[in-house]
Structure 1
Amino acid sequence: MEASIPLNVDNNHSLSFEHFDFEKNIDGFGITMAFLYLAVCVVGLAGNSLVIIAILKLDKMSSSTTVYVFNLALADGLFMVGLPFIASQNFKDQWVFGNTACKVIMVLDGINQFTSVFCLAAMSVDRYMALAKPLQFARWRTPSCAKVVSAFLWFFSLLTILPMALHFSADHGFCSPDFATESWFVGILFYTFVMGFALPFTLMTVFYAAMLISLRSQRRRSPVPSREGRRFEQQMTKMVVAVVVVFGMCWLPFYTLNFLSLYQHSFFNFGRAFEFVVLLSYSWSCANPILYACFSDTFRKHFRTLLCLGRAYRSLPKFKDEQNMNEEMTSRDGGSHFQRELRATY
């Protein structure tokens, strides 16, 4: 819906129902897409569940960053719940779960999708505050404050999508939005694009860029070149580029195709392309745990511990590797002690 914009998956498909021709027969493409939907759902649920367990059991939500990561993983995991219903609709070419289930699934879909994106944006702001001006923002980076912000993001997501979600119905055989006019759809599309993609993406880009600039400035001010500092900077740069690029790759095609669909009668016939871009948008929710595993030494250790693939968990200071690298960068430059507590989660 939202992600799908109240369009999301369904919206697209709901629109697809009105504007596009879907083949009724079950062929190789339909079977392949059903398998891919199932794979994304399983990976997303398993990966995000692992992140949630790791934070609750091993980290105890000891920092503001891990509070945001916890809520991001929770939203991403719940976002996967609606995927089997959408896959079933695409596979059978009809909604068989009833009108009430349609509205409930779309409400949950919208809340979790928006919350996921909002948490991601909040994390970019949190990381910038931790690195650029740690003393000035110290009181805003406590776990308690992060929990309040996260609760607000969940509530705000509900307020954002509820009016749109209630427009979904299964009266025509598909769980699709029932807007009075085409202008309503265009307005909702622009609204969800701004709130669910453009604004969060801009915030992430701006704050991550500012964070990297601040990080490089600190390293250059150090009287003695720091190999650990350079390594940490490179690690953070890779993380930032990966997060921004993957987010854009997963969501931009979805919104692009929705906007192009406004002109499909003249130039385009997307057909099954909507199924693919919806799947791609859902893939974002299972990409986050993979990014954690690739860019965070801490989460890799947590994952190994939970999967019994590594040594027993040791009660060492959280994010020790990242702290040591940041400490090396800041100590020679008179950096604040609080800055040494930076928690880089990816």
Structure 2
Amino acid sequence: MDNDGGNANTTQFYDYSSYYYEDLLPNFAPCSNKDLRNFGMVFLPTIYSLVFVLGFIGNGLVVCVLLKHRNQTNLTDICLFNLAVADLLFVFTLPFYSHYLVVDQWTFGDFMCRFVSGSHTTGFFSSTFFMVAMTLDRYMVILHTRAVARYRTPMAAITLSVIVWMLSLCVSLPTLIFTKVTNESSGQACGYVPENKAWLLYNMFSVNILGLLIPLLVMICCYSMIIPVMMKLRSGKKHRVVKMIICIVVAFFLFWTPYNISLFLIFLKSEGKLQSSCSMEQNLKLSATVTETIAYTHCCLNPIIYGFMGHKFRKRALQLLRKLVPLIHFTSYFSDSTYRESSVTSRSSDVTSNFIM
């Protein structure tokens, strides 16, 4: 959630009702955030609710499909399953924050304050880390196919998943420890209250570096080497695979970068590195509010990019939907021949199967 000099996952809300003074105004006339606060109380809960519904349906369908075909899973399927679980954990927290914004106080107690905040942060980092893991796996499969073939077992995938979840939990521990309920003038608030400035800096740079810069660099480096190899293959699916790669990188960059930039600028403002003014304060908070909603919708795109763009997965999803909702006729615009393997070399088939699930 928004915070002053914090990050996307510390759930420290802006005090929209606070007043601050514009140095350039005569007699230090107070500047009010009332309009911005009213905007946030309507805009954010609406978007949060929409993201929750779409994210729950999309990621829930991914989980159901992979569980139904769990006997046919591979490392890619297991990573995709964990990515969907991470996104579900993330969207699970949004209704609590919607309620928090609407009633303007935290009513769920200290335990839920810590639990929801920790789940929010863990879901964010685990989702990002699993995208990185899937990127590295694809890089190894395509550029070092024979060397890694024997290691891509279900047990290896489970081990990798445990490591990613443990890493995400460790990175999120400060949120679990320092988030608590505090008494404010308007009632109880749930916020990140670190013991010292070092933990505030940790949260800022963990989200920007571990949550954006490193994953983005890994994706760009790996996929820049994968695309030339894919273009040399004789598989008819290579163009669709390249489009999928571009979608993954571009979506991650466009959805998360603006929010991280907004949070970093707010951090600089809190450190006195930027000019203090009413317009500056309001513009930064407004940009954080808007870009936050854009960033959070990325979890709704993951099932589309990683799951539904794959023919095999889409076919399984349609079969499951026909059983769950028999009154609605689900059709696919792809013929059965679309799902047949191309008559290409075995290496080409193995490579594309890791993208087109």
The reply on whether 1:239 has 2:239 as its aligned counterpart is: no
Q: Is the 8 A contact 1:50 1:303 kept in 2?
A: yes
Q: Is the 8 A contact 1:5 1:193 kept in 2?
A: no
The reply on whether 1:52 has 2:63 as its aligned counterpart is: yes
The reply on whether 1:208 has 2:223 as its aligned counterpart is: yes
**1:94 corresponds to which letter in structure 2?**
Q
The secondary structure found in structure 1 opposite 2:285 is: coil
User: Cα–Cα, structure 1 residues 114 and 29, in superposed 2: closer, same or farther, change >3 Å?
Assistant: closer
The reply on whether 1:307 has 2:321 as its aligned counterpart is: yes
For residue 285 of structure 1, the aligned residue among 271, 276, 299 is 299
**1:174 corresponds to which letter in structure 2?**
A
Give the aligned length.
323
Q: Is the 8 A contact 2:255 2:295 kept in 1?
A: yes
The secondary structure found in structure 1 opposite 2:145 is: coil
**Worse overlay, 84-93 or 33-42:** 84-93
Q: Tell me the residue number matched to 2:135.
A: 124
TM-score, normalised by the number of residues in structure 2:
0.79
Q: Tell me the residue number matched to 1:190.
A: 205
Q: Tell me the residue number matched to 1:87.
A: 98
**Worse overlay, 272-281 or 156-165:** 272-281
Q: Percent identity?
A: 24
**Worse overlay, 155-164 or 120-129:** 155-164
Q: Tell me the residue number matched to 1:161.
A: 172
**2:206 corresponds to which letter in structure 1?**
Y
**1:132 corresponds to which letter in structure 2?**
L
User: Cα–Cα, structure 1 residues 80 and 86, in superposed 2: closer, same or farther, change >3 Å?
Assistant: same
The reply on whether 1:41 has 2:46 as its aligned counterpart is: no
Q: Is the 8 A contact 2:230 2:242 kept in 1?
A: no
The secondary structure found in structure 2 opposite 1:8 is: coil
**Worse overlay, 67-76 or 253-262:** 253-262
**Worse overlay, 59-68 or 180-189:** 180-189
| Offset, 1:153 | 0.6
**2:262 corresponds to which letter in structure 1?**
L
User: Cα–Cα, structure 1 residues 144 and 338, in superposed 2: closer, same or farther, change >3 Å?
Assistant: farther
Q: Tell me the residue number matched to 1:8.
A: 8
How far apart, in 2, do the equivalents of 1:139 and 1:19 lie? 62
Q: Tell me the residue number matched to 2:25.
A: none
The reply on whether 1:253 has 2:267 as its aligned counterpart is: no
How far apart, in 2, do the equivalents of 1:4 and 1:202 lie? 27
How far apart, in 1, do the equivalents of 2:221 and 2:306 lie? 21
How far apart, in 1, do the equivalents of 2:88 and 2:78 lie? 15
The Cα offsets for residues 226-273 of structure 1, whole Å up to 9 and x where unpaired, read as 4xx3x4221111111111111112211221111110244625223343
**Worse overlay, 165-174 or 123-132:** 165-174
How far apart, in 2, do the equivalents of 1:2 and 1:33 lie? 11
| Offset, 1:311 | 7.7
The Cα offsets for residues 258-290 of structure 1, whole Å up to 9 and x where unpaired, read as 111024462522334333333222211111112
Which structure has the higher relative contact order (CA within 8 Å, separation 6+)?
A: 1
Q: Is the 8 A contact 2:230 2:238 kept in 1?
A: yes
The Cα offsets for residues 175-232 of structure 1, whole Å up to 9 and x where unpaired, read as 211124445423321123211111112112211221112222x33xxxxxx4xx3x42
Q: Tell me the residue number matched to 2:154.
A: 143
Q: Is the 8 A contact 1:34 1:87 kept in 2?
A: yes
User: Cα–Cα, structure 1 residues 297 and 103, in superposed 2: closer, same or farther, change >3 Å?
Assistant: same
Q: Is the 8 A contact 1:5 1:11 kept in 2?
A: no
TM-score, normalised by the number of residues in structure 1:
0.82
User: Cα–Cα, structure 1 residues 22 and 12, in superposed 2: closer, same or farther, change >3 Å?
Assistant: farther
| Offset, 1:102 | 0.8
How far apart, in 2, do the equivalents of 1:214 and 1:5 lie? 43
**2:267 corresponds to which letter in structure 1?**
L
The Cα offsets for residues 286-315 of structure 1, whole Å up to 9 and x where unpaired, read as 111122465211222122111114589xxx
How far apart, in 1, do the equivalents of 2:79 and 2:4 lie? 23
RMSD: 3.3
| Offset, 1:19 | 9.1
For residue 152 of structure 1, the aligned residue among 163, 177, 201 is 163
The secondary structure found in structure 2 opposite 1:344 is: coil
How far apart, in 2, do the equivalents of 1:102 and 1:192 lie? 20
The secondary structure found in structure 2 opposite 1:170 is: strand
How far apart, in 2, do the equivalents of 1:49 and 1:4 lie? 33
| Offset, 1:131 | 1.7
How far apart, in 2, do the equivalents of 1:22 and 1:70 lie? 42
List gaps (5 residues or longer) in structure 2. 21-31, 323-328
